[in-house]
Structure 1
């Protein structure tokens, strides 16, 4: 059976996959700086005899065609390659060797899994007709995101995939479990940068100043009304302020206050309406109190939408490969992911790969200095994605 053959090949590649993942983990690179990572991936593709092209500077796209007769069917599979500006605290042999940079989001697992998929498909190319597009993407962690750049450069053309699949590690899920959610799954994420201007002076003489600290305080409180009194209560929205700098002193009112925050939602129309409300509210509050402000809202990733019918199909196939008891339905998550850019222009399914193992102490969350993954997930990640690709192309 195809399923058993895939499992057999994935098992045989496990030691190789662990070595690959540990190399990547030990040599992380930040977004759009993945030159050595891309070179490493290219060397692996070269060894397999798979041709590729460069995109978005450090990205790679490879095509792998089946030999079971002619077919115009195309499916795309995506893995991201970049790491985060975090100093790793794990005491492991494969600890990051690049100070201040760490694969704290599991992109080393994603890249390793997709390389494993390539090797499985090569061994089974006689079982399918059609084309699998392998996307090794840079810059997932930094807007505008590598996905949007690769889309602009034509990654979803020539040939155009009918669907695109992506997977992401999830430490909250035990290894051996897969998580899915149809429809709206992850939020848009936009960055808010506001500078509030007043007139500084002595803290004992506030009547001679235009206090930007007070103005900023009113803004921060008022912004909460945008969600609580303007957003549809059934539509998740988050407006959080995470950074405020009023660089005065205990007795000095500053000239300027800086406010940084984020706005997230699951509706693209409301998203941009909220942007305008933030701008208008900030300006009106500042001016009404005698000050002024500059508002910069940097548009980030859009809402990630898992195509309903495709996700139902992927779930059924995943249950067939993993067992129905190992596939769970996920809640909406207000974090963001630039795979969302693909989901805005193509039928897409983004699912979660369990990598946690409480018995081994592998429980740390994403984007933490102690994040790690149970490496058994490499065999599962490669095998499952290969199975989904092959079945999507009619292999049996």
Structure 2
């Protein structure tokens, strides 16, 4: 367990520069225990909806630091509050679930976990998206703020969120009254490891940072028969092929080129034998965008196109394709409140130095962090990227042009000591500055 007390700052420091130096020293002192926590989390990953032991460990760490801790919120979510006088409420969120990946990094501390997934298949489990880094930075930040309460006033709200990888955790925690049962934040902060940025650096993108993501199934129906008599059938394989090609024109011909849109057909399954024309083909798609209006346009166009293609082949309306959007897995785009993003960037620059902070470009990946800024309370929220690539490996990749292992890769292995140290410093400095503002009325 993390030690509950570290030597507090002996003086109330007059300048941010002095604070930056002291914070660096304090985080360096805590780093051995943080590295041990990281290795434990890395070697014991748990899948979405199964984060039992992970949640217990995080709850225990926060209790040791003096937080009021509530478990089992929205599944295996943990909410911890530290009240420290009058002032704003700052929420810091970390995600906790791992991925069904067999780790192939070759590291001595690699995960060897094998479990049964929801379909009863045995799978490997790995923190291939950096959630172990997120959780360790989260605890390190909680430690710094708990042990140096003379540096801030307000309420610190730490939220350990499950089921991010399936787009369900934030929804579940909000549904259970995260902002009504516990506290309404004035600011919401998060970080995410980057597999394309060197450790020691941070990147932030004001405005849209991550995308709307929708999983869509299309069931294409037809009239099956013998491959020798195609004129007696309506071939769903041919219809599915037409739909795949037609879907590409939604982005290229129906949506403004100034509005980002991606439609990916990730899976196509149909038929059973060479000479049999089947009755059905199943397509699985991912839709990505930033603008909610573009998302609606993508879905409406798919529904229109699929029905039109089926009708053109002579199918009756009752055999029109079925377009099913997995709303429970849909993730809205993450919009970094510009004013908050600028403030956070300024805080991190003061802590790490200008050369260690870069502007991030928006990406089309999804993250359910964005939901915390889309409630009726309209709370300012910002997530920033935390470089995770070992600096020498990053420089070598830049020189050779060889791609680095990406997030969700079985070979993704962050430079965890430097990444954690940077994450704790960046998040703590950001929170300390936000505590200097007046709370919202």
Q: CA deviation at 1:194?
A: 0.7
- The corresponding residue for 1:23 is 40
Deviations 1:148-177 (A, max 9, x none): 111122223342111101000002100111
Q: CA deviation at 1:38?
A: 0.5
SS in 1 for 2:301: helix
Inter-partner Cα distance in structure 1 for 2:65 and 2:345: 30
- The corresponding residue for 1:248 is 272
Q: Is the 8 A contact 2:99 2:128 kept in 1?
A: yes
One of 95, 109, 120 as aligned partner of 2:144: 120
Q: CA deviation at 1:122?
A: 1.3
One of 196, 202, 213 as aligned partner of 2:226: 202
Q: Does 1:371 align with 2:412?
A: yes
Which structure 1 residue ranges, 4+ long, deviate > 6 Å from structure 2? none
The correspondence of residues 83-162 of structure 1 with structure 2, limited to 5 A, is 83-99=98-114, 100-143=124-167, 145-157=168-180, 158-162=182-186
Name the Cα RMSD after superposition: 1.5
Q: Is the 8 A contact 1:189 1:265 kept in 2?
A: yes
Q: Is the 8 A contact 1:104 1:367 kept in 2?
A: yes
Deviations 1:252-282 (A, max 9, x none): 2111111111111110122113212211211
One of 60, 64, 70 as aligned partner of 2:78: 60
Q: How high is the TM-score relative to the length of structure 2?
A: 0.86
Deviations 1:318-348 (A, max 9, x none): 1111111111111120111111111323211
Q: Is the 8 A contact 2:199 2:391 kept in 1?
A: no
Inter-partner Cα distance in structure 1 for 2:138 and 2:209: 23
One of 274, 290, 312 as aligned partner of 1:266: 290
One of 302, 305, 323 as aligned partner of 1:295: 323
One of 351, 355, 358 as aligned partner of 2:384: 351
SS in 2 for 1:156: helix
- The corresponding residue for 1:187 is 211
Q: CA deviation at 1:118?
A: 1.0
Q: Is the 8 A contact 2:74 2:175 kept in 1?
A: no
Q: Is the 8 A contact 1:198 1:290 kept in 2?
A: no
Inter-partner Cα distance in structure 1 for 2:91 and 2:290: 25
Deviations 1:338-389 (A, max 9, x none): 1111132321111000110153589421000011111211111112111111
More deviation in 41-50 or 252-261? Answer: 41-50
- The corresponding residue for 2:435 is 393
Q: CA deviation at 1:51?
A: 2.0
Q: Is the 8 A contact 2:201 2:422 kept in 1?
A: no
One of 38, 51, 64 as aligned partner of 1:34: 51
**Structure 1 residue runs without a partner (length 5+):** none
Inter-partner Cα distance in structure 2 for 1:387 and 1:72: 17
**Structure 2 residue runs without a partner (length 5+):** 1-17, 115-123, 398-403
Q: CA deviation at 1:195?
A: 0.8
Q: Does 1:7 align with 2:24?
A: yes
SS in 2 for 1:13: helix
Q: How many residues align?
A: 391
